[in-house]
Structure 1
Amino acid sequence: MNAQRLFRTSPPRIAQRLRPTRRYTTKPTDPAPPQPHPPAQSPNPNQAPPPPKKAPSRVGTFYRNNTYPVLKSFLVALFTYQLAFYVWLKLEVVEEKSEQQGAIRGLEEEVKKMVAQQKRNVSDAVGKVADREDIKPEEKKKKGWLW
């Protein structure tokens, strides 16, 4: 059997296999289709022609051109302020902590001096009591159940 006859008589699945494998959506030599021109007049004569296009307003143009730079500057300034505030707060905390530690050291030294003073006062009082002769040493206690 010849291939043309087989192509004509075979079912579509087999016919697809027998067709050439290279396919083009358009022929490479075909030129691009021409672009349609817009109609000069509206198809409906009762319809009003479209209004002429307005020139963009100066305010709209200003905001369209300057919104991003202004926003960027604002965000950079906000970030800088927050960073400076955080650094300042950290320095304040460090300063307060060092002041409190200095106050604690001063109080600890004062407590040590007072304890030493109390020890001297107690030893002086014991020495005075020991020097008094009118106080007799305790007699030996009797050991036992009754006395």
Structure 2
Amino acid sequence: MAASRAPRNAGRRSYATEPTPSPQPRQPQSQAGAFYKSFGMPVAKCFLGALFTYQVVYWGWMKLESLEEKKDTEDEILRLKEELKLLVQQRILEEEKAAAEAEKPATVAATKSGKKGWW
């Protein structure tokens, strides 16, 4: 039975004198490459966080500005409606006054002739 099993150290080196596989020769790395290798993810996270924050603040500002413009427009419409009501009332009063003055000379002339009223 022991002969059918594979030895435990079959994948290991059998002699200590065998040379270890040498790694690939390393290329000299630039300072920028070394910086971004170490700090690339934190820089990207900060950039994306700042971009997201800017977009949220910009959207909020635009929303508030649109609400303010809408309120200003509604206030102006109400003001113009009130002004229109006043002008219509003034015109009605002027027309009534003109109609009353137009009737007045006829009644004055009729009363001078001795008749009462227009009938």
Under a length normalisation based on structure 2, what TM-score does the superposition of the two structures give?
Answer: 0.69
- Structure-1 residue corresponding to 2:92: 119
Q: Distance in 1 between matches of 2:11 and 2:74?
A: 88
The answer to whether residue 65 in structure 2 is matched with residue 89 in structure 1 is: no
Consecutive unaligned residues of structure 2, counting only runs of 5 or more, are 111-117
Rg larger in structure: 1
Question: Which of 30, 46, 50 is matched with 2:6 structurally?
Answer: 30
Question: Which of 106, 112, 118 is matched with 2:79 structurally?
Answer: 106
Q: Deviations over 1:54-88 (max 9, x none)?
A: 37526233211111110111000000000000000
Q: Percent identity?
A: 32
**Alpha-carbon RMSD:** 2.8
Runs of 4+ in 1 over 6 A off after TM superposition: none
Under a length normalisation based on structure 1, what TM-score does the superposition of the two structures give?
Answer: 0.57
- Structure-2 residue corresponding to 1:62: 35
- Structure-1 residue corresponding to 2:25: 53
Give the number of the structure whose residues are more often helix, by fraction: 2
Higher relative CO (Cα under 8 Å, sequence separation at least 6) belongs to: 2
Larger CA deviation: 89-98 vs 57-66? 57-66
- Structure-2 residue corresponding to 1:23: none
